[in-house]
Amino acid sequence: MSTHPIPVITIDGPTASGKGTVAHKVAEHLGFHLLDSGALYRLTALQALRRGTPLNDEHALAKLAEHLNISFTGDAIFLAHENVTDAIRQEEVGNTASKIAAFPTVRTALYGLQLGFRKTPGLVADGRDMGTVIFPHATLKVFLTASVAARAERRYKQLIGKGIPANMEDLLMDLKARDDRDTNRAIAPLVPAEGAHVLDTSEMTVETAVAQVLQWYAAVGK
């Protein structure tokens, strides 16, 4: 049996920094598993909104998180066999996810679930606290960032492309509010992990960002 730990690449960063796309492509290139940790919070938020769970009832939300029946198949995300890939990308769900992610019991409920994604041959994990809290001993830690304007523009194009109406001013306000919540929360605030490579993608193509992450990973020496 190999004594080498299963390699983990963590890619953290704020909303719409491109971390999801970069993580997906890096995982694809390396043949690694992918953990979209933000999706877990979004799934909890979606379930809470659907069930009418009060968004200030921390324990009820944690219970929901604990009993999520989820599966990731390729690009699709399933909640109890229903494809909710697009449903969890709605702005209301994203904003709700950001609010409930501030609750310690919700984060604890999802902690073990996230650790379970670490399987051979390796894992690429994207989120906000992958390198700081979930996988502090990751092989490579990356912190992806971009200006609020660049991120709002990306989110706008993303939504319009999916036929979802969007307003640039509202998106900017939402992103700033989310950033504020994420960086200032008491538990697992959004900060670059110790030893993380910071990559500003404001003026960068996805391909360039992916190539840089792969280059860093190659340099770590498996």
> Using CA atoms, how far apart are residues 146 and 123, in angstroms rounded to an integer?
24
- Judge whether 20 is annotated as a binding position: yes
Residues 6+ apart with CB under 8 A from 67: none
- Judge whether 131 is annotated as a binding position: no
Residues 6+ apart with CB under 8 A from 44: 61, 64, 65, 68, 97, 100, 106, 110
- Judge whether 105 is annotated as a binding position: no
- Judge whether 63 is annotated as a binding position: no
- Judge whether 2 is annotated as a binding position: no
- Judge whether 136 is annotated as a binding position: no
- Judge whether 125 is annotated as a binding position: no
- Judge whether 17 is annotated as a binding position: yes
- Judge whether 21 is annotated as a binding position: yes
Q: Residues annotated as binding site for ATP?
A: 13-21
Q: Give binding residues as ranges.
A: 13-21
